[in-house]
Amino acid sequence: MNRLVSIIIPVYNAEKYLKESLESVFNQTYKNIEIIAINDGSTDQSSQILREFAPKLKIITQPNKGQCAALNAGIAICNGDYIKFFDADDIMNPEHIELQVSALNANDNSVAKCDWLRFYDTIPTIQKNSHKTKTRKWKPNEWLKNELAKDDDMVGGPLWLIPRKVLLRTGLWDEGLSVNNDFEFTTRLLANCEQIIDIPSAILFYRTAVPGSLSLRKSPKSLEALVESNLLGVANLLCLENSVETKLIAANRLRRISFSLFPHNRSLVKRLDKKIIELGGSNIKLKGGFLLTLLARVFGWRCARIIQVLFYKIGYKPNKPSQ
């Protein structure tokens, strides 16, 4: 079925990677798409690059309001039967949309998930038939438990191809969240669908360590949003499955965040601690080198982190804790 796919791309100061990202969308083998780019107050050459592609896409220009507001602006004007969120510095393989549409097969109560590969500047080479091709169907709670049990989980918005019916049930992106907003949105999305269809051969090349990206922001406001998004996401997860297993997975996720925030952001850690206790406690340990691990075992992870920070101040850098 030749359903229309709306690809919504928020753009903020993305001049270095924007053209490459857009070309990966224009080169899709699936052609019934509309591309909506939201220029969210860019001050670099992003506006000019978007104008160069203007015949091929719709452009919304607005003052800088943040990624979530930009995505919501795209949702407001999109016409697609399916909606795809996409970042302005990422890449999708040419068959990406075709594979996700085919897998859904007009199932308006499921979402299609792609695979992802992390990269920095050079896109990993994927040889034909070298990547996994077999699809897998998941119950949303089972997929979330499986993913969140990993140290390097990935629940980003661009993973999904979303039927309009599911998106209407899910609601808009939370514009009060500026960091880790994908986690809150994805957990809410999966609480409103019946099934995940995982298509490993549809690949998202996820660019990391981009200066100015949401994931690298460390301002007090951003850190507050990080904590709030995770607390909301945990609540969504427990709506899917309120079990001992999911409570432990949620507590461990919050503990990893508290490891990274302590000792500089004690009030936020206190919020996380309260929720971790409500969930029944965490069983993960502070990870690092021999010295950090030994200090945590003898004095507790908080003392170990304080000592680690003191080492940083005098120029010695022991292994950082795993997040």
| Homologous superfamily of 5-215 | Spore Coat Polysaccharide Biosynthesis Protein SpsA; Chain A (3.90.550.10)
**pLDDT at res. 129:** 47
For 264-282, the pLDDT digits (tens) are 999 999 999 999 999 999 9
**pLDDT at res. 213:** 46
How many beta carbons lie within 10 A of that of residue 26, not counting itself?
12
pTM of the model: 0.89
CA distances from 76 to 92, 167, 170, 220 (A): 24, 12, 14, 31
**pLDDT at res. 120:** 80
**pLDDT at res. 177:** 93
pLDDT at 322 over 60: no
**For residue 34, what pLDDT band results from cuts at 50, 70 and 90?**
very high
**For residue 23, what pLDDT band results from cuts at 50, 70 and 90?**
very high
Say which DSSP state 280 is in.
T
CA distances from 305 to 113, 220, 261, 262, 320 (A): 37, 19, 10, 7, 9
Examine residue 263 and say whether the peptide bond preceding it is cis (omega within 30 degrees of 0). Answer: yes
Q: Domain-by-domain residue ranges, the chain? A: 5-215, 285-323
For 134-183, the pLDDT digits (tens) are 889 999 999 999 999 887 788 999 999 999 999 999 999 999 998 889 99
Structure tokens at 111: 């979402």
Amino acid at 267: S
How far apart are the C-alpha atoms of 59 and 50, rounded to whole Å? 7
For 80-135, the pLDDT digits (tens) are 999 999 999 999 999 999 999 999 998 999 999 999 998 887 776 654 444 566 88
How far apart are the C-alpha atoms of 20 and 16, rounded to whole Å? 9
**pLDDT at res. 277:** 98
CA distances from 244 to 115, 126, 152, 153, 192 (A): 28, 39, 22, 20, 22
Q: What is the mean pLDDT of residues 284-294?
A: 88
